[in-house]
Amino acid sequence: MDNWQRKTGSSASPVLEVRDLVKHYSMGAEVVEALRGIDFRAESGDFVVVYGPSGSGKTTFLNMVGCIDHPTSGTVRIYGEDVSKLSDSRLAELRRDKIGLVFQTFNLMPVLSTYENIEYPLLLQNVPRNERRGRVNKLIEAVGLTNEAKRRPNKLSGGQRQRVALARALVTETHLLLADEPTGNLDTETSKRILGIMQSLNEQRDVALVVVTHDPMVSEYAKRAVRISDGKLEDVRVGG
C-alpha cells in the first residue's frame, strides 16, 4: 500500500472524475464552445488515450483536468476532491503533489542536469535527501537514463528529454499522469520506446495515464481510447 492509500484508507474512488464539464471562450462578440458537457473518469491502472483533430478540445480538456484552467461549469474531482472549491494556493499544491504533467515541449529547466530536473519536485515538497536520492535513482534507471544523469537538457536527444519529463512527473509517486502529445516531437522508434516505458510504468505502478494526442499509434498501447470531437467525448474501444 502506498502513501496515498494509507492517507485515504481506500483506492476504490476514481483518481479522476469529470461531470458535465463545459468550457466557453469569448473571442470578441463570438463565444466558442470548446467543451460541451463532458463526463469522464479514470481509475488507478487506467491508460486512456483521448484523440481527435486539431481544435477538437483535446488540450482544453487536459488543461481542465490538470487544474491549469478553470471550467465554465461542471465538476472536476481529483482523488475525490472537487477542485472548484480549492483556493489558488491549494490548487498549486494539488498540481505539485498529486498530478504528474508531461508537456509536448518537455518544460525542463535548462540549467539543471537530468538528475536535478527529476529531483526538483521533491525539493519543493521538502522530501529528505536520502529519500530523494532513492526515488530519483530508481526512476532514472526505469527510464534508461543512468548514463545521462549529469547531462543538461541541451546535451540530450528529444527522446531522452521526454524520458526525463516522464520521470519528473512520476517522482512524487502520483497515481495520475496527464500527457499532452508525448510523441509529438519524436520519430517513430523513439515514440515506441516512450510509449513502452509509459505502458510499463502504468502496469507496474498502477498509475492512471490520460494522454491527449493526434498520433494513432498511442492507441495501440492504451487500454481505452476516447474520441473527442466538437467538444464532446465518445468511448470507442476498451482494451485488455
Residuewise pLDDT in 10s, the chain (240 residues) = 344 343 333 445 799 999 999 999 888 888 889 999 999 999 999 999 998 888 888 989 999 999 989 899 999 999 999 999 899 899 888 888 889 999 878 899 999 999 999 999 999 999 999 999 999 999 999 888 999 999 999 999 988 998 999 899 989 988 899 999 888 878 888 888 889 888 888 888 888 999 999 888 898 999 999 999 888 988 765 554
Domain membership flag for residue 150: yes
Cα–Cα distance for residue pair 196/218, rounded to 1 Å: 10
Domain membership flag for residue 201: yes
Domain membership flag for residue 58: yes
Domain membership flag for residue 160: yes
Cα–Cα distance for residue pair 224/41, rounded to 1 Å: 11
Count structural domains, the chain.
1
The cell for 205 is 505502478
**Phi, psi (5° rounding) for residue 33?**
-90, 90
Domain membership flag for residue 1: no
Q: What is the pTM of this model?
A: 0.84
> Side chain identity at 110, as an amino acid letter?
P
Cα–Cα distance for residue pair 145/214, rounded to 1 Å: 27
Per the listing, cell 524520458 goes with 163
Contact between residue 37 and residue 61 where contact means Cβ atoms under 8 Å apart: no
Cα–Cα distance for residue pair 1/220, rounded to 1 Å: 30
